[in-house]
């Protein structure tokens, strides 16, 4: 594992945010937009961390999403301090979007109190936008994935989570490149049965595939694989940043479901628009063609 980064020195300068959006799920291909902000003048290693979470179980939903939120260690410390202060102010222990959305558990007394709910999310979103560097993620239409033949599914590990995880890892590595020639990113995955095992397995295989010289970016001396430092499985209860990754994954899945409705689609949710106004990359695999054209990593895994 790469040596721990210093916490001293200047903070990376943010470039102006640009907007990225999900492609129409009914479109002909996967469209994934990524910020290409150049921060190569940054000399101080920040040691980036990306916290990755998933949205739902395949057997229960039409869509699955994996999302990651990325920042420096120093920014995550600021995030955790401010985020937990808001939770304490509102008398809850954590944000879990399934419970919040349906007013369950700690949020059951909030049922019908829209002013309180909006105030709560508004404060948390402000913290996220002021501390998180970038957001990454991907969503797969499970019905489309199941329509692939055996050989086509095998390219994606016979699991719709695989293309999602692959995107999160490779884009996190790309984002580290933007920060400088020596910057790396640690990946933290929630300790969920199934997801953690898939993520650790695919992380190792991605590093091998991404080490291919063909995967080097123009002008960059190192492969993306060199920017992926390590992967750690950790309980959500022991890592506050998983809460914002959970929120992002939830919003991506909700928007994917809305887009699939075509002309009857719902208006975009406010949290989704806020996340997408930030530096990030989201991939949508809503057609068979988009999965068949998925990343050249497919045949290397």
| pLDDT, average across residues 130-143 | 93
Average pLDDT score over residue span 114-123: 98
In the prediction, which pLDDT does 45 show? Answer: 60
Please state which of the ranges 122-136, 153-167, 239-253 shows the lowest mean pLDDT.
153-167
The span from the CA of 293 to the CA of 301, in Å, is 15
pLDDT score, position 212:
72
Reduced to 3 states, what is the DSSP secondary structure of residue 222? coil
CA 77 – CA 151 distance, rounded (Å):
45
> CA 169, CA 187: separation in Å to the nearest integer?
8
pLDDT of 261:
82
pLDDT tens, 20-65? 333 333 333 333 333 223 333 344 566 899 999 988 655 556 898 9
215-254 pLDDT, tens digit per residue, is: 565 555 457 888 999 999 999 888 999 999 999 999 999 9
What percent of the chain is modeled with pLDDT above 70?
A: 77
**Mean pLDDT of the chain, nearest integer:** 80
Rg (CA), the chain: 19
Residue among 16, 70, 80, 19 nearest 46 (CA): 70
Does residue 204 carry a pLDDT above 70?
Answer: yes
Lowest pLDDT segment from 62-66, 84-88, 253-257, 293-297: 293-297
pTM above 0.85, yes or no: no
DSSP track, 227-290:
GEEEEEEE-GGG-TTHHHHHHHHHHHHHHHHHHTTGGGPPPPPHHHHHHHTSSEEEEEE-SHHH
Q: What is the pLDDT of residue 114?
A: 96
- Sole residue written with tokens 């020596």: 182
The average pLDDT across 168-178 equals 89
What integer pLDDT is reported at residue 296 of this predicted model? 43
**Alpha carbon separation from 77 to 36, 82, 84, 248 (Å, rounded):** 26, 9, 11, 19
- SS3 of residue 40 by DSSP: coil
pLDDT at 12 exceeding the cut of 70:
no
The better pLDDT of the pair 79, 39 is held by: 79
Choosing among 3.20.20, 1.10.10, 1.10.150, 3.30.420, the CATH entry for 45-74+134-300 is 3.30.420
Q: What is the pLDDT of residue 233?
A: 93
Q: Please give the Cα distance from 247 to 240 (Å, whole number).
A: 12
- Asked whether residue 294 carries a pLDDT value surpassing 50, the answer given is yes
Q: Which helix (H) or strand (E) holds 140?
A: strand 134-141
* Vertex 18 angle, CA 14 and 22, to 5°: 130
Beta carbons within 10 angstroms of residue 186's beta carbon: 22
pLDDT > 90 fraction of the chain, expressed in percent and rounded: 47
User: How far is Cα 299 from Cα 301, in angstroms, rounded to an integer?
Assistant: 6
- Is the predicted pLDDT of residue 11 greater than 60, yes or no? no
12-26, 99-113, 150-164, 167-181, range with the lowest pLDDT: 12-26
Above 50 in pLDDT, residue 7? no
Segments making up each domain of the chain, as ranges:
45-74+134-300
How far is Cα of residue 48 from the mean position of the Cα atoms in its chain?
14
Q: What is the pLDDT of residue 80?
A: 98
Q: What pLDDT score does 155 carry?
A: 85
């Amino acid at each position: 594992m790469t040596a721990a980064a210093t916490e001293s020195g200047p903070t990376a300068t943010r470039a102006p945010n640009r907007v990225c959006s999900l492609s129409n799920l009914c479109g002909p291909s996967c469209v994934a937009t990524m910020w290409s902000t150049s921060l190569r003048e940054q000399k101080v290693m920040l040691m980036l961390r990306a916290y990755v979470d998933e949205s739902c179980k395949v057997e229960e939903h039409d869509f699955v999403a994996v999302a990651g939120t990325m920042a420096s260690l120093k920014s995550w410390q600021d995030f955790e301090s401010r985020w937990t202060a808001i939770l304490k102010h509102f008398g809850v222990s954590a944000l879990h979007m399934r419970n919040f959305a349906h007013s369950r558990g700690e949020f059951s007394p909030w049922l019908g109190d829209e002013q309180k709910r909006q105030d709560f999310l508004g404060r948390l979103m402000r913290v996220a936008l002021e501390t998180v560097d970038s957001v990454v993620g991907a969503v797969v239409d499970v019905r489309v994935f199941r329509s692939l033949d055996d050989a086509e599914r095998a390219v994606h590990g016979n699991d719709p989570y695989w293309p999602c995880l692959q995107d999160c890892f490779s884009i996190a590595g790309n984002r580290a490149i933007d920060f400088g020639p020596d910057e790396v990113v640690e990946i933290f995955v929630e300790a969920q049965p199934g997801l953690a095992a898939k993520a650790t397995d695919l992380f190792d295989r991605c590093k091998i595939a991404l080490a291919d010289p063909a995967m080097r970016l123009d002008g960059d001396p190192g492969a993306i694989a060199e920017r992926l430092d390590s992967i750690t499985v950790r309980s959500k209860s022991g890592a506050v940043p998983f809460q914002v990754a959970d929120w992002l994954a939830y919003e991506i899945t909700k928007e994917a479901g809305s887009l699939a409705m075509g002309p009857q689609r719902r208006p975009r949710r406010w949290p989704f628009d806020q996340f997408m106004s930030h530096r990030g990359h989201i991939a949508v695999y809503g057609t068979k063609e988009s999965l068949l054209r998925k990343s050249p990593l497919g045949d290397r895994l």
